[in-house]
Chains A and B, each alone.
Chain A
Amino acid sequence: MSSVPAILVLADGTLFKGSAIGAAGHTVGEVVFNTAITGYQEILTDPSYTKQIVTLTYPHIGNVGANAEDTESRSVYAAGLIVRDLPLLHSNFRAEASLSDYLKANNVVAIADIDTRKLTRILREKGAQPGCIMAGEIDEARALELARGFGTMAGQDLAKVVSCDSIYQWDTREWRLGEGYGAQAEPKYHVVAYDFGVKHNILRMLAERGCKLTVVPAQTPAKDVLALKPDGVFLSNGPGDPEPCDYAIDAIKDILDTKLPVFGICLGHQLLGLAVGGKTSKMKFGHHGANHPVQDLDTGRVMITSQNHGFQVDENSLPANVRVTHRSLFDGTVQGIALTDRPVFSFQGHPEASPGPNDVAYLFDKFIKAMDERG
C-alpha cells in the first residue's frame, strides 16, 4: 500500500498528517467545514468556495465517483478538499470517474486519512482559519508559513474574480432521472442574472420556470442591465466578502429604483442588504451544510436548507422598508429579507439546493409570481 503523504497545517500551527488523494503540490485557503453527507461534486464546483479549502465531515467521500452532470460550474472552485476516507471503489450507475481522478484532472490538492472530526472541532471553536495542504513533497515549516500568509477572507472581493468575462445566455432546465438536463422550450420572462459566481442550478431552476436568462459579469453597470429590458433581475451567490463589491452595490441601488422584481441568493442577498443601507459582518465559522433549519416567518413553516456562507446581513442595521422574512433556527441569524415597498427579496441559504434539500424552491416561484404581478 503505497500512498503519497500529505499534510494539512492550520494557521494556528495544528498539523495533520494524512495521504494525498488529489493533485501533487500545495494549496492555501480558508479552511471551512461542510456537514452535507451527499453532494461533494456540487460542493467542489460551487464558485462560492473560491479560496476555501473544504473539509467534509462525513468520512467516506467519493462513494459515487464523479460525473459530468453533477457540477455547479465549469470547473472546481474549492481551493482544496479534506476528507477522512476516500473509498476503495466508487459505485453509482452515473459515475464516470473516481473522485481521485477527478481531483487530479482538475488539479485540486486534497488530503485524506486525517481526523476530520478533530479538525471540525478546532474550526468550530476557533473559527474558520487559513490552512495549507501540501501533498507529495512535504515541508511543514513552509506549509505553516503559507497558511499564515493567506490573510483573511474579510475584505476580499472575489465575486469579480470568479464572474464570467462576458454576457451569455442560459437555457438548460433542471435535471431529471433518466433524462438528464433538458432544454427550455418557450420562455415567458426575460431575467438578467448577475454572475457573482453563480451556481448553475440557480439558472436551471429559473429556466425550468420559464425564464429566458441573460447572465452578465459581476461588474456590469445597471444601465447595461436595464438596457436588456429584463422582467426581473437576479443576484447570484458567490465567494468572498460582499462589502468591497461597491460596483455591485451601486448597480443594485440603481436597479431597485426601477421597481423591477429582484431576487438575490447568498452573496446576492448580502449585496442587497448592503444596497438598501444595511451592514454585513463575518461569521465565526459560517454556515456550511445541508441540514440547516430556516423558518419562514410569514407561514411559520420550517425548511431544511442548504447553506454556504461566511458573512451575514446584520438585522439591526436594516432600514424600515426592509423586513426579515426568514431566520436560521440554529443561531437566529437573518436568512431572508424583503423590501416592503417593491417586489424585491433575497435568501441567505441556497434554495437551489444542489446539494441539499429542495424545501425552499418555492422562492423561485415567488420570483416568477412577482414578474407575473408586474404584468
Chain B
Amino acid sequence: MPKRTDLKSILIIGAGPIVIGQACEFDYSGAQACKALREEGYKVILVNSNPATIMTDPDMADVTYIEPINWQVVEKIIAKERPDAILPTMGGQTALNCALDLARNGVLEKYKVELIGATEDAIDKAEDRGRFKEAMAKIGLSCPLSFVCHTMEESLAAQAKVGFPTLIRPSFTMGGSGGGIAYNKEEFLAICERGFEASPTHELLIEQSVLGWKEYEMEVVRDRNDNCIIICSIENFDPMGVHTGDSITVAPAQTLTDKEYQIMRNASLAVLREIGVDTGGSNVQFATNPDTGEMIVIEMNPRVSRSSALASKATGFPIAKIAAKLAVGFTLDELKNDITGGATPASFEPSIDYVVTKIPRFAFEKFPQADDRLTTQMKSVGEVMAMGRTLQESMQKALRGLETGLAGFDPVTSDLEQIRHEIGTPGPERILYVADAFRAGLTRDDIFAISKIDPWFLAQIEDIVGEEKALAGRKLDELDYAELRRLKRKGFSDRRLGALLGVDQGAVRARRWALNLRPVYKRVDTCAAEFATNTAYMYSSYEEECESRPTDRKKIMVLGGGPNRIGQGIEFDYCCVHAALALRESGFETIMVNCNPETVSTDYDTSDRLYFEPLTLEDVLEICHVEKPFGVIVQYGGQTPLKLARALEANGVPIIGTTPDMIDCAEDRERFQKMLQELGLKQPPNRTARTPADAMRLAEEIGYPLVVRPSYVLGGRAMEIVHEPADLERYMREAVKVSNDSPVLLDRFLNDAIEVDVDAVSDGELVVIGGIMQHVEQAGVHSGDSACSLPPYSLFPAVQDEIRRQTVAMAKALNVVGLMNVQFAIQGDTIYVLEVNPRASRTVPFVSKVTGAPLAKIAARCMAGISLAEQGFTKEVVPPYYAVKEAVFPFIKFPGVDTILGPEMKSTGEVMGVGRSFAEAFIKAELGAGDRLPKSGKVFLSVRNSDKAGSVEVAREMVRLGFEVVATRGTARGIQEAGIPVQLINKVNEGRPHIVDMIKNGEISLVFNTVDEKRQAIQDSHSIRRSALQMRVPQYTTLAGAKAVCVGMAHAEEFDVYSVQDLHAMVRNG
C-alpha cells in the first residue's frame, strides 16, 4: 500500500522541554519524523516549546511553532494551519497527552483532524492501567496482580490483597512520576498521596511486586498490513524494581533460549495487535521469573520512546523515521533499509554482532536532599551507550563514557556492610559496588542472593575483577602483546590499566603503540555483516579486521558532549549537529564522535561518519590516528571535549577554532584577571584561596556576601553564596576539598544586580554579537536556571552598547575563532564581567531560533576558515519582538528537595515563549514550562527583608489584577502600610493554621517566596515551597521573577501564536 494522498499537511507534536523521563530522544525522533514526512511531500507543521531542539530549526518543518504544548495553544495552531492529521507518537508522553486532550475537548472533531500513528482508543488502552490489564487477559498474557484505585480507601484494600512490597503506579505520568515501591504502610500512604497528585486522572494502580524478576524490553514496529517486526530485544542488568530508564540495560537479550525468546516475541506482537497500534513503533516490557521462566507483561508504550531511540542507535534501524512513514500508509516492505544502501527492505529484523550497554547518568550531587535509591520512578538525567564485541568490552567502555571520572570498574569501598547495602538497595553506582563485592570476597552466589542480578552478568564482572587482581604488583613492561591484547579485548582502558600498574595512561598508551596494539573499527550494519554497507557508523573493538576505510577527503571531526547531565545537555548536541551540517554543506567530510544514544548527533546520517565512542583521550586519539582529520572541533560539546583539548593538542591533534591556550586563559583566574585589567574592564572583587585559613582572610579583604566555588566547575557545582564568616567556614569544611591544585574561588557577590548573557561569534577578525539576553532573575541565580529575554527588556541602549564594546574587546583579546559567551552583571551603572567562555554556550540555540541567525553553523564555518564576510554575516540581528527562555526543573521527581534557586544549576531543560511584548513572551514561556498562571484567587507573599520594598509593588499590582493578597507578618506590614488590603497568615513555626495548611487546602493559587541565602531561613520556609510544588501551585522564588509575573499576568489570555518562519521573515524585512 503506498502512502496516503488524502493527507496533505501533518502536525507533529514535540515533547517540550527536557525533563527527567523525556530527553533529547524525542528531538531525535521528531527530527526524523519531520525529515521523513517532508521527503514524502507532506507539509509538516511542528509545535514544540523547546528551542534547543534540532527539530525546531526553521528548515526542518514547513511551519514551526515554538509555543507551549497544551491543547489550548495547539488548538490555536490547528485553527490557523488547518492540518489534515496529527502525528502524536513522536513527542513522548507530552504529545500523547496533548493529543488525548485535543480529542476529549472536541478539537479534532471540530477541525476534522485525524490522529495518525496511534488512535485515541489505542493510546487510552495502553495508558489506562485497568483497560491495559483487561486487554492482556484477553490475549492470554499475565500481568502482575493489580487494582485500579481512585481513593485512598480503595488503595488500602488493594494493598491488602497484593501484599508488601507494593508497587504504586499513577496513570498517565511519564517516567513513573509519583510512583514507587512501598515496604510498609507508612511508605505506602505517602507514595499513594504523591501518586494521586501526579496522575492527571487521579488514578493509581496498586500492584503486586515482582522485585527481583528479570526485566526485558522488546522494540516492535507494525504497519497497517499487520506486518510486525522486532527491532531489538533488551535485557536489564538491574532486575525488576528499578525503572528501566534508571537501569543498566544490554542489547540484545542475553539469557533467553530461543524458545523463551520466541514466546516473548509472539507476546509482543500480540500486545500491539490487541492494543491496536496500527502503525509505528512501540515498546513492550516484560518480567520473567528467573526460576521458572514465567512471563508477565509490565507495560507498553504506543509510541517511540527512550528505548526505541536506544534500539535505533543499537541496531542502526531508524525506528522513528520508519514509524513516521508507516503512519502515512506505507508498509514495511515498501521502505528501504538505508543502512544497507537500500539493498534490503525495512521489513526484516536487525541482527547485531556486538553487545550494547546503556548506563544511566544521575545528578544526585545537585540535589543533596533527594533520596538516591532507585525505584520505579525515573531519576536519571542522561545516559551513555557503548558497543563492543563482548559485554565486558561494551560495559567498560560505557563506564568510562559516563564521564563521572571512572576509567572502568574503579573501586569505591571495601566496607562490606556498605557494599551489601548498595547492591541490595540500588543507588546510582550499584555496578561499581558489585565489583567491590567481588574484591571484598563475596561470591557470585552471595551477590546474586542480595541483588538478583543475573549470574551471567555477575560472572563477567567477577572475571574483570579477577584480571585486575592478577595485575597487582605487575609492571607495565612485563605485559607482552598477547597479554595486553587480552586485556584490551576485555575493554580495559589505558587509564584503568595504568591505575592498576601504577603508571599513567600515557605510559600504557606508549607501550601499546610500541607493540602496535590498536583498536579496529567495526560497522553497525543491522545485518551482522550479511550485506555490505557503505554507511560509516562505527565502534571500536580489539579485533583483527578494521572496516573504517577512511577517505582522503578534507575532514573535520566534531567531539560531542557525551551523556546529558544538568548543565550539559541538548543545547550542546544542537551545536555539534549544526557544526556537522554546516561543514558538510561547505564540502568537508564530517566525523562525529559521541556516546549519547538519545541525540541527533548520533544519528548515522547527521555526519558523513559516526564513531559511537566514549569521549576520552584514549578513544579520541585512536580515532584521530585512523582518520587523520584536518581539524577537530572541541568547543561545541560542552566541558567534555574542552577538558580534552590540551591533551589532544599535545598529542598532535589539530584543534580548530579558538586555541586551547586561549580557552585556558579564559578559565584560568589569574590569566583572565590580567587580561581584563589590560582591557580596562571590571570584575567583582575576587580572590583565590588555597587553604581554609586563606579563605577566611581573603574574604575579609573583599567583603561579604561572597560567591564561593571550586575552581573548575560546570553548571555551578558546589557553588554557594555566603553571607558571613560562619557560612564560609562551614563551606570550606563541608562542601569542598581545597588544595593547591584545586583552589576555591571567592567573588564578591553583587546584590540586586541584573545579569546579562551575550553570545558572539568571531572569525578572528570580525566579532559579531549573536544576542544580548537580559536575565529575569537577579545575579546569583545560575544563568542556566534564570529566565532571560532577548532583546533585553529594561536595559538602556547605552548600557547595551557598552556591553557590545566589551564583548568585542574580549573576543579580540582571546583571539576567538568560533563562539564566545560572556556573562555580565550590571549593578547600578557599573558593568562587571562575571565570566567568559570561548565556546558554545547553553543559549546558542535559543539565540539562533530567536534571531534566525544559525550561530553554531556560522561559527563552525569560521573555524574551518570561512570568514564572516564571506558568509555574509557581519551585523547583529536585533529582533522586532521579544523572546523569553525559561528554565524547567526536576523538583517534582525528588521529594524533599527545595525549589529555591541559587548559584548551583538545577534545571534540566528550557522552553521559549515569543511575543510582541516582553509580557506576552514571558507568559508564554511560563505556560510552556508547565506553569498555568491563575487569573484570580489568593496570592501568597513572603519575602526577605531586602525585598520588602519591592513586594509592596508586587502586592499592589496583584490586587489591581483582581487577586487577594495573603502574607506573613513581616511582609504584610509593609503592604498594609501602603494601604493595600492583605490577609495575615502564620508562618509554619508560628502555629496553625499556617501557610502550608492553606496551600494544602487549595486556597492559594500563586506563591511568591524569597529567602535570604541562609541555611536557617531556607529551612524554615522549605515546606512552603514543597507544598506549593506538590499542589502544583506556580511559585517564584525571586522578586524579579514575581515582578515579571505581574507584568506578564496582564496578558494571561490574549496571546497569539507565531511561527518561527514568520518571525524570521520579520527580521529579514527589518
Q: Mark A273-311, 1 if CB is under 8 A from B, else 0.
A: 000000000000000011111010000111010000000
* Chain B residues, Cβ within 8 Å of A124: 529-532
Q: Mark B272-295, 1 if CB is under 8 A from A, else 0.
A: 000000000000000000111111
Query: Are A60 and B355 closer than 8 Å at their CB atoms?
Result: yes
Query: Are B347 and A38 closer than 8 Å at their CB atoms?
Result: no
Cβ contact of B255, chosen from A42, A58, A92, cutoff 8 A: A92
Q: Is A85 an interface residue (CB 8 A)?
A: yes
A139-147, A241-249, A355-363 - interface stretch: A355-363
* Chain B residues, Cβ within 8 Å of A90: 456
Cβ contact of A291, chosen from B348, B354, B390, B522, cutoff 8 A: B348
Q: Is B413 an interface residue (CB 8 A)?
A: no
Q: Is A152 an interface residue (CB 8 A)?
A: no
Q: How far is the CB of A112 from chain B (nearest CB, A)?
A: 11
Given the complex of chains A and B, what is the CA–CA distance between A120 and B354 in angstroms?
14
Q: How far is the CB of B860 from chain A (nearest CB, A)?
A: 34
Which of chain A's residues 51-91 have a Cβ closer than 8 Å to chain B?
A: 57-60, 63-64, 67, 69-70, 84-85, 87-91
* Chain B residues, Cβ within 8 Å of A175: 259
Query: Are B459 and A60 closer than 8 Å at their CB atoms?
Result: no
Query: Are B456 and A89 closer than 8 Å at their CB atoms?
Result: yes
Q: Is B665 an interface residue (CB 8 A)?
A: no
* Chain A residues, Cβ within 8 Å of B391: 60
Q: How far is the CB of A181 from chain B (nearest CB, A)?
A: 11
Known contacts A291-B349, A329-B345; A84 and B389 CB within 8 A of each other: yes
Q: How far is the CB of A199 from chain B (nearest CB, A)?
A: 13
Q: Is A226 an interface residue (CB 8 A)?
A: no
Given the complex of chains A and B, what is the CA–CA distance between A265 and B886 in angstroms?
64
Query: Are B530 and A58 closer than 8 Å at their CB atoms?
Result: no
Q: How far is the CB of B236 from chain A (nearest CB, A)?
A: 14
CB-nearest residue of chain A to B455: A91
Query: Are B350 and A291 closer than 8 Å at their CB atoms?
Result: yes
Which of chain A's residues 349-374 have a Cβ closer than 8 Å to chain B?
A: 353-358
Known contacts A121-B529, A301-B227, A302-B332; A91 and B543 CB within 8 A of each other: no
Main secondary structure of the interface of A (DSSP, over half): loop
Query: Are B528 and A304 closer than 8 Å at their CB atoms?
Result: no
Q: Is B352 an interface residue (CB 8 A)?
A: yes
CB-nearest residue of chain A to B353: A57
Main secondary structure of the interface of B (DSSP, over half): loop
B81-89, B260-268, B621-629, B696-704 - interface stretch: B260-268
Q: How far is the CB of B923 from chain A (nearest CB, A)?
A: 51
CB-nearest residue of chain A to B260: A177
Cβ contact of B348, chosen from A84, A88, A329, cutoff 8 A: A329
Q: Mark A323-341, 1 if CB is under 8 A from B, else 0.
A: 0000001100000000000
Q: Mark A83-107, 1 if CB is under 8 A from B, else 0.
A: 0110111111110000000000000
Cβ contact of B347, chosen from A60, A115, A329, cutoff 8 A: A329
CB-nearest residue of chain A to B523: A117
Query: Are B256 and A84 closer than 8 Å at their CB atoms?
Result: no
Q: Is B225 an interface residue (CB 8 A)?
A: yes
Q: How far is the CB of A286 from chain B (nearest CB, A)?
A: 11
Cβ contact of B544, chosen from A60, A87, A118, A178, cutoff 8 A: A118
* Chain B residues, Cβ within 8 Å of A156: none
* Chain A residues, Cβ within 8 Å of B545: 115, 117-118, 121
Cβ contact of A300, chosen from B225, B262, B351, B354, cutoff 8 A: B225
* Chain A residues, Cβ within 8 Å of B290: 93
Q: Mark A115-131, 1 if CB is under 8 A from B, else 0.
A: 11110110011000000
Q: Is B505 an interface residue (CB 8 A)?
A: no
Query: Are B333 and A329 closer than 8 Å at their CB atoms?
Result: yes
* Chain A residues, Cβ within 8 Å of B585: none
Which of chain B's residues 1011-1032 have a Cβ closer than 8 Å to chain A?
A: none
Q: Is B855 an interface residue (CB 8 A)?
A: no
Query: Are B294 and A115 closer than 8 Å at their CB atoms?
Result: no
Q: Is B463 an interface residue (CB 8 A)?
A: yes
Q: Is A35 an interface residue (CB 8 A)?
A: yes
Given the complex of chains A and B, what is the CA–CA distance between A67 and B227 in angstroms?
33
* Chain B residues, Cβ within 8 Å of A63: 254-255, 456
* Chain B residues, Cβ within 8 Å of A121: 529, 545, 547
* Chain B residues, Cβ within 8 Å of A177: 259-260, 263, 293-295
CB-nearest residue of chain B to A175: B259
* Chain A residues, Cβ within 8 Å of B355: 59-60
Q: Is A37 an interface residue (CB 8 A)?
A: yes
| B-side interface size class | 35 or more
Query: Are B258 and A355 closer than 8 Å at their CB atoms?
Result: yes
Most A-side CB within 10 Å, residue of B258, B444, B528, B544: B258
Known contacts A70-B257, A89-B459, A304-B348; A59 and B354 CB within 8 A of each other: yes
* Chain A residues, Cβ within 8 Å of B331: 300, 302
Most A-side CB within 10 Å, residue of B256, B261, B331, B486: B261
Q: Is B536 an interface residue (CB 8 A)?
A: no
Most B-side CB within 10 Å, residue of A59, A60, A175, A330: A59
Q: Is A39 an interface residue (CB 8 A)?
A: yes
Given the complex of chains A and B, what is the CA–CA distance between A36 and B527 in angstroms?
10
* Chain A residues, Cβ within 8 Å of B254: 60, 63
* Chain A residues, Cβ within 8 Å of B444: 89
Known contacts A117-B543, A177-B293, A357-B265; A70 and B390 CB within 8 A of each other: no
CB-nearest residue of chain B to A43: B258
Given the complex of chains A and B, what is the CA–CA distance between A92 and B214 in angstroms?
11
* Chain A residues, Cβ within 8 Å of B348: 291-293, 304, 329-330
Given the complex of chains A and B, what is the CA–CA distance between A238 and B529 in angstroms?
26
CB-nearest residue of chain B to A16: B544
Query: Are B225 and A301 closer than 8 Å at their CB atoms?
Result: yes
Which of chain B's residues 398-457 have a Cβ closer than 8 Å to chain A?
A: 444, 454-456
Q: Mark A151-181, 1 if CB is under 8 A from B, else 0.
A: 0000000000000000000000001011000
* Chain B residues, Cβ within 8 Å of A67: 257
Q: Mark B528-546, 1 if CB is under 8 A from A, else 0.
A: 1111100000000001110
Q: Is B711 an interface residue (CB 8 A)?
A: no
Q: How far is the CB of A374 from chain B (nearest CB, A)?
A: 30
Known contacts A177-B263, A329-B345; A302 and B227 CB within 8 A of each other: yes
Given the complex of chains A and B, what is the CA–CA distance between A178 and B289 in angstroms?
12
Q: How far is the CB of A84 from chain B (nearest CB, A)?
A: 6
Most A-side CB within 10 Å, residue of B331, B463, B544: B544
Q: Is B1048 an interface residue (CB 8 A)?
A: no
Query: Are B344 and A329 closer than 8 Å at their CB atoms?
Result: yes
Cβ contact of B530, chosen from A16, A39, A41, A289, cutoff 8 A: A289
Given the complex of chains A and B, what is the CA–CA distance between A222 and B291 in angstroms?
49
Query: Are A293 and B252 closer than 8 Å at their CB atoms?
Result: no
Q: Is B55 an interface residue (CB 8 A)?
A: no
Query: Are B389 and A35 closer than 8 Å at their CB atoms?
Result: no
Most B-side CB within 10 Å, residue of A84, A85, A93, A118: A93
Given the complex of chains A and B, what is the CA–CA distance between A89 and B461 in angstroms?
11
Q: Is B706 an interface residue (CB 8 A)?
A: no
* Chain B residues, Cβ within 8 Å of A295: 333
Q: Is B831 an interface residue (CB 8 A)?
A: no
Cβ contact of A93, chosen from B293, B333, B529, cutoff 8 A: B293
Given the complex of chains A and B, what is the CA–CA distance between A334 and B28 in angstroms?
38
* Chain B residues, Cβ within 8 Å of A118: 543-545
Q: Is B229 an interface residue (CB 8 A)?
A: yes
Q: Is B673 an interface residue (CB 8 A)?
A: no
Given the complex of chains A and B, what is the CA–CA distance between A114 and B389 in angstroms?
11
CB-nearest residue of chain B to A69: B259
Given contacts A35-B528, A177-B263, A353-B262, 11 further A-B contacts (CB under 8 A): A16-B544, A60-B391, A88-B462, A91-B459, A92-B256, A93-B293, A116-B353, A291-B350, A302-B331, A354-B258, A354-B259
List the 3 closest pairs (A to B, CB-CB), nearest first: A39-B258, A89-B459, A355-B258
Contact sample, A vs B, 7 pairs, CB 8 Å cutoff: A60-B391, A88-B460, A177-B260, A178-B292, A302-B333, A354-B258, A358-B262
Give B residues with C-beta under 8 Å from A.
225-227, 229-230, 252, 254-263, 265-266, 290-295, 331-333, 344-345, 347-355, 389-391, 444, 454-456, 458-460, 462-463, 486, 522, 527-532, 543-545, 547
